[in-house]
Amino acid sequence: MAQINTQTEVELFLQEPKMSKVILLNDDYTTMEFVIKILMDIFEKSYNQATEIMLNVHRSGSGVCGIYPYDIAEFKAKSAKMSAQAHHFPLKIITQDLN
């Protein structure tokens, strides 16, 4: 294991990972089935959890898919956007940094 020398290095080593919230936005064109599939395949939700999140977004306009370390949140959001694009859906997913 690498040696830690200075106080700054100790502080960097002990820092909490930066976390991000992934937020799904409603639209009138993406199908409910596709949103459920994205939530199951990319955000690892069960069918029931995915349905609940999708319906919440459909009714209220937006909803949280999950909170992840920054890189994972970006990767999941990008994967979802690319899959939606490939299927010609205008699905919008944003990330919000938490710390």
Cβ proximity of 19 and 99 under 8 Å:
yes
Only one of the segments 3-11, 19-27, 44-52, 71-79 lies at the binding site for ligand TYC (rule: CB under 6 A); that segment is 19-27
Residue 12's CB is within 10 A of a number of other CB atoms, namely: 10
Comparison of 46 and 62: residue with beta carbon closer to ligand TYC: 62
User: What DSSP letter does each residue of 1-64 carry, written as one string?
Assistant: -----SHHHHHHHHPPPPEEEEEEE--SSS-HHHHHHHHHHTT---HHHHHHHHHHHHHHSEEE
Is 81 near ligand TYC (CB under 6 A)? no
Report the nearest approach of ligand TYC to the CB of residue 14 (Å). Answer: 37
Number of residues lying near ligand TYC (CB under 6 A): 13
Binding mask 27-66 for ligand TYC (x = CB under 6 A): xx-xxx--x------------------x--xx--------
Find residue 93's DSSP bridge partners: 24
Q: Which residues bind ligand TYC (CB under 6 A)?
A: 24-28, 30-32, 35, 54, 57-58, 91
